[in-house]
Structure formats: structure tokens, C-alpha cells
Structure 1
Amino acid sequence: MENNAKKLLEKYLSGNCTPEEKAIVEDWYLQLPFKKDAPGYAEIEASQREVFQRLRSSQKVRQLVRLKRVAVAAAVLVCFSIALYYYNHKPQAPALLAKKELKDVLPGRNRAILTLADGSIVDLDQAKNGEIASQNGIIIRKDKDGRLEYIIQDNPTGATGVNVISTPRGGQYQVSLPDGTKVWLNAATSLKYPYSFAKGERLVELNGEAYFEVAKDKSRPFRVKTNSQTVEVLGTHFNINAYVDELMAKTTLLEGAVKVSNETGAVNLRPGEQARLDTRTNRLSLGQNVDTDQEVAWKNDIFAFNNDDLRTVMRQISRWYDIDVVYKGQITTEKFFGEIPRNSNLSDVFKILELNHLNIEIEGKVITIIGN
């Protein structure tokens, strides 16, 4: 069993599989639940037997053979590199890192800076749990899980002032706003909000990416303003990706209803739909039947790629590992599929990229990807 599984994996990676063998491998991974650990021999062989049985249907064979051998085929990237690592029984560091003798780069973590209304700055990573500040009857504290929360102690009517919470590259954070709305901030993101919302509305400003669970309040609509659009809700769960270096700003609705608008028009969303704003033309469009799990995968500590090009993939990796990416030569137009745990060290990502025949050079925190 071990030899069969090992040979099949090695043939796939070298491009020497028959169409039927290739179908077995890709079908296996397209249906395999995401796991952080390498699959065992028994699991591989059992999956093979199951797929062989399904391959008896000629229609199924035709469908599988049409599958393209993509750059990050369903988690093949992570699991194949780790699987062969175990199968060969020769633990060693990735060749790229060993040659350069570089220190591995750790994944991002909970890190953020809080700027208070008076201009004072709090490093939330260094701040101890408990009360951080008090503003006009509102206590700001860091809870035992490292989240930021606001507790209204006295009547804050008439209080004015804004706070800004910012995550660096390689950071993420969660905050509970004064109205009870919960916000998860991805890396390189800032959220500006008043520490006391007005009577008629709740307005916040976002740069970057965040997931919102808005506290219901029919008398005060909740609005999120980005540099190119405004999202209005009453109480709902949604994700906004509005990084300035992305060509598309995306608002994805998971629960409730939202309205996304800018000067060119408006889009009303239902759960499973997405508003897409082309930042080059400033035009809004509607996407339906969206994979919402993929859109919020970052919140669940996963990179999820689905037909993404290399530059899109590397922008996510760059933000999370706080690295810069430079391109030389003709860069591949292959599309990437699959999932990578965000708690992986950068060396694991290098394994994945090298498996897909990408040439990488590293100097300090700058990665150069060299095309053909």
C-alpha cells in the first residue's frame, strides 16, 4: 500500500500520470476535507479504492480527465509536499531556506494599535488584560482572549471623539464596538469609529478587510464607508474586502440584508450574494451564489484560493507574513486553487510555490519571483 501511494504521488508531481491516474489524485483531493496534517497511507489507499470504483462510470472518467492540473490543485500544494516529506523519511529543511541560511518567517498573530480620541496610542499586543482607558463614561478594556471591547458605564450623551484601531501587516484583531457590533480585522486594516454613536446612525470608516456582525438597532442604521463605497445595514453578517491595492472591492453578505452604493449606482444584497466594485471604472455589479466560506476563510485562519492568479495569491501572503514581493520576467498566468493554513510558517508556502515550478529568490523580507 505504501509503495502504491508513494509512486502515485510522485508520478503526479513529475507529470507522468496516465489520465486515469491523474483523475484519481485530483478527485481525491477535490473531495478530501481540509486538514492541517499529512494524510496517512491507509487514507490514501482507501480513497484510491473508492475513486477506482467511481471510475467504472465512463461519464465520470471523462469529467475527471477534463480537470486541469492547476497550480494549487485543491490542497495538493500543502498536503503533497508534506506527504512526500514523510514518505521519503528524510526530514530536512526546504532547499531554498537551507541554501540561503535564512531564519524562517512566522505567520501573523493578534497585533493592533489603538489611537484614542486625545491622540494617545496603545499597543494592544503589549497592553495587559483589563481596563486600558476611560472616555466620558465608556470603559475600553482588553478581555482575557485579547479582544478589545467597549463598556458603557454612564450615559455618554454629548460625548464626541473617535478611536482608530489599526492592524499592521502580519497582524489581525477583533473589537466589540460601543453598540455591541463585533468586527474582525484582517492584516493591514484600519477601522475608524466614534466611541459614542450618534442617535440617528452608526457610521464607521474602513480601509482594508473586515468581517462584521452588526448589532441590531432599527432606529440607527449601521454604515461602513470605504474609499470607494458605502455599505448600509440594520443588523447582519458580512465581509468587506476593500484594500487599495486590489482591483475589485468586494462586499459579501452571509446573513440579513445590505445596500452597497457609490456615485454610480447601488446594489441590494441577499445572503450568498456579493457586490463587486471595479476600482478602475468605479462600477458596481452583483455576484450571485458566492462561496461565502471562501470569502471569510481568513477569519477562520485559512488562505482559500479559487481561480486566483499568482499576484492575487501573493498579495494575501505578503500582508500576512509582512513581506514584500517583486516580480521579474514573464509571470505565470496559471490559476490557483486550494487552502493553506494561515498558521503555517513561510517555509511551507515556499515548498508549495517551488512544487509549482516557480523560481524564488529571497533577500531579507523581500521575495523575488522569477518568471520564465
Structure 2
Amino acid sequence: MEKNAKKLLDKYIAGNCTPDEMTVIEDWYLQLPFEKEAPHHSLIESTSQEVWNRLSPRGKSVKMVIVKWLAIAASLVLCLSVGIYFVTQHYAAPLTAKTELKNILPGGNKAVLTLADGTVVNLDDAKNGQIADQSGIVIRKTKNGQLEYIIKEIPKATVKGSNTIATPRGGQYEVNLPDGTKVWLNAATTLKYPYAFAKNERLVELNGEAYFEVSKDRTRPFRVKTAVQTVEVLGTHFNINAYQDEAVVKTTLLEGAVKVSTPSASVNLHPGEQSLLNATSARLSLNARVDVDKEMAWKNNVFSFDNDDLQSIMRQISRWYDVDVVYQGKITSEKYVGEIPRNSNLAEVFEILELNHVHIDARGKVITVTGN
């Protein structure tokens, strides 16, 4: 490991650090008091307790600090020169203990396509290019990990049958439907759709989370049906989070207009608004001031938390890293705020969470979270 502070910082900015070197830089910065300048050698001992106090839970809110490195590079040169030995010694044991977690990598483009005739195609293994031809509609896998439909000839008669694309835990995928609609699927998500849409509507079924950019067609409304609601649009951009293990189904509108309906109620959304459907009571409500960036963070390859509880965070981690989570003891009710890149390995994610008194252990693909 590079021990010269300036050289290590230069490696970090250039993107050439090893995982351990990245951890040294990030963990040291997380210990700095926010109101102070970068500490001199004489201040390390006097500020160390204050640092850890700032990282401890206060009341019902805990802040996970995610650093934007270019903005604080100059300060880091100073703090690393006096702090690197302390950090490497302080974190040597935890890093060794988390070797197994480092082997659990983030998800990627993984999905299984089931055609109307029952043919199953593992898109991870399928070669780029044409996969199938369904009555003149060609299905292709592109080199950048997308599934696209190309209409070579319009079917002369109504074509029946549906295709299903399913992402596993630890998977995501983008689909370009026959009408030009683009759909991004999050992990553990299933989308069912006809390979040729009807003349009067475009109906798809969703279980999980997906972001839609619907191609405009005023003669054929686009409808997304989940287990408890239906979203109707003509052409718009929106996100639906409809996992069965979540207490609320959330539909977030970015552009255009949508109508969200249940058997007993409906609500019209405008850009920047979100519908909330309680899965237990079936109560449908409107959030007129939603944080759109937070709802779309997954598509931008980020975990974003804003007053989320630990179990909600762990459900997201479970889906993306394909791990099972169990709990022992009294689990904290603290709320978390912050962002974590989704391309981090699992050890890096938990190093941040453990700074906020989340204690974990790993045995294979089972993660045990222990309360205080």
C-alpha cells in the first residue's frame, strides 16, 4: 500500500487506488470534524474523541457522509500526511474481517427472457444480435446490454401471446418495446408484455421496480398493471416501485401526466408528484413534493437514503447484492440520510453503515445484522 499521502491522493484522483487504499482515504476523511480545518499533528489526539462523537447517532437521525473528493482534495493532502498511519492501524482488523464481503460484488446486466412459445433465453449468456423472430417482430440483444424489438413487417392479423423478462436479485436490464417505449428494470423485477400490442391499448404487467419512457401514441393508451393498481398514460416518463415486500407502492412522475387507479380510488399526477398506495389498507394518497432524484437514484447507479430506516436500506441491499438478511437483537430505529454508489462491493457499503453503529457479519450469502 502507498504510504506517501500526496502520492496516495494523486492515485485516488486518477482512479488508480487499490480497494484498501480507497478505504484508507475515505475512512480518514469521515473522521474529520466538519467545522474545523484539516488537523495538524498536535490536534489529532485532542480531536479524535470529538470525531467519533460526531459519527455517533443523535436523536432519531444519523447522517452518512459521502465525500465529493475533488472539492476537498487540498484539505486531504494536509490531513493524510498526519493521519495515514493512524487510519491504517485503526482499520486493519475490520478490513481483514471483511474479506468475505469484498467478494460479494454489485449487480449488473442480468435477465431471463421467456418467449410466448415457452422458449427461455438467458440474456447473460446469449450472444449479441438476433434472438428470435415473432411474426415479423425481431428481438435483438445489443452490445451494451439492452433488449430491443424491431418491427420488420406489421402482422396482418392480431397476434396473441406475451413475453416476460425477469431480472434476478443482483440484476438489471433495459428493454426497448415494439412501440418504442423504453423500460429500465431494477433488480428482482418481472415485466410481462405482448410481443405485438393491441390496436386500442398497450398493456404491460409489472412486479418489482421499473422506470418507463413511454412512446407517445394518442390512439393507444399505455397501461402498467401491478398487483394492486393500474397506471395509465399516453406518453410520459415515470417510475413505479411495486415490490411485494414493500409496504407502499410508489409511482413517481417525471414528465407528462399519468392516472393511477385502484378498484376504489384514483389520482392524477403532475411532474414532481408521487402516488402512495398502502399495500395493507389500499389507501391511495398524493405526495406533491417528492424528491425525484432520490426515487431515480437506482437508475443512476446510486443508493439514496433520506430518513430511511435500516430494514428498508437492507431490502435494497439484499436485492442488488443477491444476499439474504437476518436480524438479531434489538434493531436500531435510527433514520439514515446519504448516498452510496451501487458499484461498490459489499464491504465498502457496510464500512459506511458500521460508522453509524450498524454491526454485521457475513457467512456466504447470508448477512446477519446485530442490534445493540
TM-score by length of 1: 0.81
Q: What is the match of residue 137 of structure 1?
A: 136
Matches within 5 A, 1:40-79: 40-43=72-75
Q: What is the match of residue 90 of structure 1?
A: 88
| Conservation of the 8 A alpha-carbon contact between 1:228 and 1:279 | yes
Q: Distance in 2 between matches of 1:139 and 1:352?
A: 45
Deviation at 1:231?
Answer: 0.3
- One-letter amino acid of the counterpart of residue 3, structure 1: P
| Conservation of the 8 A alpha-carbon contact between 1:2 and 1:41 | no
Q: Distance in 2 between matches of 1:170 and 1:160?
A: 32
**Does structure 1 residue 105 correspond to structure 2 residue 104?**
yes
| Conservation of the 8 A alpha-carbon contact between 1:325 and 1:366 | yes
* Change beyond 3 A, Cα 1:10–1:253: farther
Deviation at 1:370?
Answer: 1.0
Deviation at 1:95?
Answer: 3.7
Matches within 5 A, 1:1-372: 2-4=38-40, 7=44, 10-15=48-53, 35=68, 40-43=72-75, 88=86, 90=88, 95-96=93-94, 98-99=96-97, 101-102=99-100, 104-156=103-155, 157-372=157-372
* Change beyond 3 A, Cα 1:141–1:45: same
Secondary structure in 2 matching 1:190: strand
Q: What is the match of residue 56 of structure 1?
A: none
Consecutive unaligned residues of structure 2, counting only runs of 5 or more, are 1-36
Q: Distance in 2 between matches of 1:89 and 1:261?
A: 54
Q: Distance in 2 between matches of 1:92 and 1:125?
A: 41
Secondary structure in 2 matching 1:198: coil
Q: Distance in 1 between matches of 2:163 and 2:54?
A: 58
- Percent identity, aligned pairs only, is 59
| Conservation of the 8 A alpha-carbon contact between 2:249 and 2:278 | yes
| Conservation of the 8 A alpha-carbon contact between 2:63 and 2:336 | no
Secondary structure in 1 matching 2:88: coil
- One-letter amino acid of the counterpart of residue 113, structure 1: V
Q: Distance in 2 between matches of 1:115 and 1:84?
A: 58
| Alignment deviations for residues 117-165 of structure 1 (CA, whole Å, 9 cap, x no partner) | 1101111111111101111000000112110000000112422111000
Secondary structure in 2 matching 1:15: helix
Consecutive unaligned residues of structure 1, counting only runs of 5 or more, are 47-79
Q: Distance in 1 between matches of 2:351 and 2:47?
A: 15
Deviation at 1:362?
Answer: 1.4
- One-letter amino acid of the counterpart of residue 242, structure 1: A
* Change beyond 3 A, Cα 1:4–1:220: farther
Deviation at 1:3?
Answer: 2.6
* Change beyond 3 A, Cα 1:344–1:329: same
- One-letter amino acid of the counterpart of residue 207, structure 2: N
| Alignment deviations for residues 295-337 of structure 1 (CA, whole Å, 9 cap, x no partner) | 0110000000001000000000110000011011111010010
| Conservation of the 8 A alpha-carbon contact between 1:137 and 1:153 | yes
Q: Distance in 2 between matches of 1:109 and 1:319?
A: 12
Secondary structure in 1 matching 2:203: strand
| Conservation of the 8 A alpha-carbon contact between 2:238 and 2:254 | yes
* Change beyond 3 A, Cα 1:284–1:345: same
| Alignment deviations for residues 87-130 of structure 1 (CA, whole Å, 9 cap, x no partner) | 84638977446236525210000000000011011111111111
| Alignment deviations for residues 39-86 of structure 1 (CA, whole Å, 9 cap, x no partner) | 64525699xxxxxxxxxxxxxxxxxxxxxxxxxxxxxxxxx9x99996
Q: Distance in 1 between matches of 2:82 and 2:359?
A: 20
* Change beyond 3 A, Cα 1:43–1:239: farther
Secondary structure in 2 matching 1:117: coil
Secondary structure in 2 matching 1:299: helix
Q: Give me the CA root mean square deviation.
A: 3.1
Q: Distance in 2 between matches of 1:259 and 1:167?
A: 27
Q: Distance in 2 between matches of 1:84 and 1:115?
A: 58
* Change beyond 3 A, Cα 1:16–1:319: closer
| Conservation of the 8 A alpha-carbon contact between 1:38 and 1:83 | no
Q: Distance in 2 between matches of 1:265 and 1:12?
A: 52
Q: Distance in 1 between matches of 2:357 and 2:249?
A: 31
Q: Distance in 2 between matches of 1:201 and 1:13?
A: 59
* Change beyond 3 A, Cα 1:363–1:155: same
* Change beyond 3 A, Cα 1:95–1:136: farther
Secondary structure in 2 matching 1:240: strand
* Change beyond 3 A, Cα 1:371–1:158: same
